[in-house]
With several copies, the nearest count.
Chain A
């Protein structure tokens, strides 16, 4: 495959070498790397690192490459292209999400939006004990302990992990939709009632 970067000047673009170092770091890293981490590891400017990431994003993108650079979980990481999804599925499972139950997803939503939260708090919101759902999410690495409520003797609290953001393809927790924006249920009910009132008034 031809290596055709968009803006190659005559003298080797000084960011090229940095881009090679950045791609090397990304291919061995076990989690997404932030611009800060990349700048520290490459001993270079954050601005130049961003420029290098721009070059890499151009090169490692869907449709052009099997390796795709993505911005996720507060950093940058490589993943497989969607084109290769079937082949990946034949070779690896995505064990993290396999067989996630409805109870586990509700628990995950509570931890993501309200975390850090304890098991009793989760149980209070869901109305049923959360022990097995919490245990399965911990085992999958989607949530992790985050201290105890009110210090020693309190219940263990949980928060979501960077793996959660990765699995769900979120740039950060801030990318979760606002709860108010979810579900148009109250709006739909209001509209139906208004329609009844109008029909009666006419």
Chain B
């Protein structure tokens, strides 16, 4: 079933072919992470899922892990030196800041593409650079100046740049294993728990990692998941209680 993700056919601006090949090209550095349209991949996967009757949780899990890794790769590629700076922020603020910068970068790429098009269109417009051959020439004249302006300009160049704090922490996601252990501990005490209730106190980044941990456990066959409807609370139980609702049924009842 895992191949449902890897064989996913993509048709993006920068790449056309199966997801697997895209990952290979990225790993071989034959494709820049910045060129990869992650949203396009997600939409392609959603469309792929919608075409099936059954919700394939294994595929979803693998897809989430791969897309998360891809996003992180892209963010690191785009902002290689920002890790430390973002680390000074709360994880949620860091995530927002990252999203803001990605959006700004995307807008600037679009603006650059517009400029390129414009340039191609304007190629046939020639004009003179610089003075005309027979233009009159007049010397530029400067009013009397104060010598202390010179001293001030030089003193300005001698001003030490503001010190950059080196004490910041790197932006880190909490390890997945932390949540794997935590969920195992919960299931030792209780047969069933509500995922949403368990993570409600956590930050968004931590919730995402907790979800990855859940998928890991599900993949390993340690837990069973059930959900009354899409977006309804996810119930986590020991494996014997597994009941997966089909999307189709869920959609009808919705």
Contact = CB atoms under 8 A, between A and B. Distances in A.
Contacts of A43: none
B50 A96 contact: no
A163 B121 CA distance: 17
B43 A192 contact: yes
A9 interface: no
A173 to B, nearest CB: 10
Given A170-B147, A175-B147, A105 B159 contact: no
Interface in A7-32: 24, 27-32
Contact of B82 (A82, A100, A124, A201): A124
A181 B123 CA distance: 24
B202 interface: no
Contacts of A142: 142
A28 B128 contact: yes
Given A97-B140, A169-B144, A175-B147, A106 B134 contact: no
B128 A30 contact: yes
A35 B39 CA distance: 48
Contact of B140 (A30, A31, A140, A181): A140
Nearest to B157: A193
A7 to B, nearest CB: 29
Interface in B64-102: 77-80, 82, 101
Nearest to A197: B157
A127 B111 contact: no
Interface stretch (B2-10, B112-120, B169-177, B231-239): B112-120
A53 interface: no
Given A142-B142, A176-B150, 19 more contacts: A27-B128, A28-B127, A29-B133, A78-B133, A97-B140, A109-B111, A109-B149, A110-B111, A127-B77, A127-B78, A141-B139, A152-B155, A153-B161, A153-B162, A168-B119, A169-B118, A177-B147, A182-B158, A196-B159
Q: Across chains A and B, which 7 residue pairs bring their CB atoms closest together, nearest first?
A: A152-B156, A153-B159, A109-B111, A85-B124, A79-B134, A127-B78, A88-B126
